[in-house]
A and B are shown apart, each in its own frame.
Chain A
Amino acid sequence: MTGIETISGTPRNLARRKFVDKLMISLCVIAGIITILPLLYIFFFTTKSGLSSLNLDFFTQLPKPVGEEGGGMANAIVGSLILIGLGSIIGIPVGILAGIYVSEYSGSLTATLVKFTTDVLSGIPSIIIGIFAYGIIVLPMQRFSALAGGFALGILMIPTITKITEEMLRLVPQTLREASLALGVSRWKTTLFVVVKTASSGIITGILLAIARAAGETAPLLFTSFGNSFWQSSIDQPMAALPLQIFAYAISPYEDWHRQAWAGAFVLILLVFVVNLIVRYVTRNKFESSV
């Protein structure tokens, strides 16, 4: 091959390159479709099996023993709410504060360290956090408890909230901080009442995402909150949770329980879907109206 041919390509070479081009591009499109297929399948299947078993009883009744028809997951739904509430008490303040720190004091060594650790923490398996909560709360108390479960969920919520808080605060223009400081407002008041307030809708989406994620967490609850078939409102006792109940029912051999589990799964998926939809909507507004 002469030099000129290598640059412009012989006709056959060009044809081959064009073929490779077409092939790879189509492969990428196919990859996209392959990825979406399971999602649609899961969606479709959960909706089909879930909707048919979803009724008022599901939300209002306690689980029935094996063999009896009907019953619901009311206690598990309430339990999940309590656990998430407990988790929020821990996760939201710590997450937001860490996010503020990383964004507003960026550049310092500790801020970089916190950012890095948060990223790494988000990759630590949730079951490890479960063991940690077990060691710290269950062992000393000698009892599985909602408190331990909430604690584990709280830790799991931190990285999500920190990350989004940081990103949203970074979107707040520097001139707003300066405007507030120029009025003789102190640094922390500026951060809290001007910067955070401006970014509040974004931060709320972060909290929602974290809650949606925590609501589906199962592994860390297995040996902290443990599960319960009855009403339980005191947080130092074992408590039911929706994903725990789904797990227990899913691996059981009973057809009726499977149906209930599908209904639970449907509720969870719906929650995830709705929250993500809200987040999309809010963040899109955020970017368009370049505050």
Chain B
Amino acid sequence: MIVALVFVVSYEMFVDSKQSRDMFGFGFIFSSNWNPVTEEFGALPFIFGTIVSSLLALILSLPVSIGVAVFLSEIAPKSVRTPFSFLIEILAAIPSIIYGFWGIFVFAPFMRATVQPFLQSTLGFLPFFQGVIYGTGLLTASFILAIMITPIISAITRDVLKAIPVSQREAAYALGATRWEAIKMALLNAKSGILGGAVLGLGRAIGETMAVTMVIGNKAQIKASLFEPAYSMASVIANEFAEASGSLHISSLIEVGLILFGVTFIINSLARLLIYSVTRKA
């Protein structure tokens, strides 16, 4: 039944996006022109926004996530571990709308006032950190996404670390390794599982809708600067779907959804296979 569901979902979206696919063909993916008034639709800005914000979020989140996982599984005493992992669970359970809300009212102003001017003054020679500072935009969205996917990646990293037998660590200690060296060895052994967790986090970031919609700035453009507002696939669907006028507009939005679905489907399958391959061995 659930298997069938996934097929029905993809079929439904495939059929509903027919009009747009017939109209624009593959050019849909490569055109950066999105104009509902003239009925011209190209998805490139959204694909760009999604990829950049998600990858950036992953880069920001991965080291922190691994650190948290190591902290939870290897370093923290039990009395700290239990409440701490509870808090991380909560972090994963907070609705994305609240992240977005907090993002516009608390985090974006903080970015505008502190982080972005700092980046501009120190790294301003790079094209990524130039231009007008809005507060909202790609970088802010990436930060929020990073916060949101950290619990996911760290939970999976912790699980795969747990699957590595204690004896391995003891063997490392017995050879005179320091604590970090022993941990490093465990991490290396678990790397495909951690990669799986990272890919899973990436998938989540790509599909995240509400929080991104609220902080990314919602402007269909491709700019080098991370301070500039951008748009993501999920956000454009969220913003325009309910009030889309023409059937071509709806169809195009569904095609964006189809791309999003395809990408997240592949990414999630990949992630699961990676994670299975590690945890099953244990």
A18 touching B178 in the complex, CB below 8 Å, given contacts A94-B2, A272-B93: yes
A17: B residues at CB distance < 8 A: 178, 181
Q: Judge if B154 is at the interface, Cβ distance under 8 Å.
A: yes
CB pair A28–B70 under 8 Å, yes or no, is yes
Pairs A–B under 8 Å by Cβ, sample size 27? A7-B176, A24-B183, A31-B66, A35-B147, A39-B91, A41-B106, A42-B98, A94-B1, A113-B3, A123-B200, A124-B9, A124-B268, A125-B264, A127-B234, A127-B238, A127-B257, A127-B260, A128-B207, A135-B13, A136-B12, A158-B5, A162-B2, A226-B242, A246-B97, A246-B101, A247-B100, A250-B97
Q: Taking A123-B264, A123-B267, A276-B86 as contacts, is the C-beta distance between A217 and B95 under 8 angstroms?
A: yes
Q: Is the interface of A mostly helix, strand, loop or mixed?
A: helix
Q: Which residues of chain A are near B184, meaning CB under 8 Å? A: 24
> Which of A217, A219, A261 is within 8 Å of B234, CB to CB?
A219
Q: Tell me how far the C-beta of A176 lies from the nearest C-beta in chain B, rounded to whole angstroms.
A: 25
Report Cα–Cα, A285/B13, bound state, in Å: 44
Residues of A in contact (CB 8 Å), total: 82
Nearest CB of A to B50, in Å: 10
Instruction: Confirm or deny: A178 has a beta carbon within 8 angstroms of a beta carbon on chain B.
Output: no
Q: Is the CB of A121 within 8 A of B6?
A: yes
Determine whether the beta carbon of B95 is less than 8 Å from that of A218.
Answer: yes
> Which chain B residues (238-259) contact chain A, with CB distance < 8 Å?
238, 241-242, 253-254, 257
Q: How far is the CA of A250 from the CA of B103 in the complex (A)?
A: 11
Which of A135, A223, A265 interacts with B101 by CB under 8 Å? A265
Interface residues as binary, B11-49 with A (CB distance below 8 Å gives 1, 0 otherwise) = 011001000000000000000000000000000000000
Distance from A92 Cβ to chain B, minimum over Cβ atoms (Å): 14
The smallest beta-carbon distance between A12 and chain B, in angstroms, is 15
Q: Which of the candidate stretches B118-126, B208-216, B221-229 sits at the interface with the other chain?
A: B208-216
One digit per residue, 1 when the CB lies within 8 angstroms of any chain B CB and 0 when it does not, for chain A 227-262 equals: 000000000000000010011001100000010011
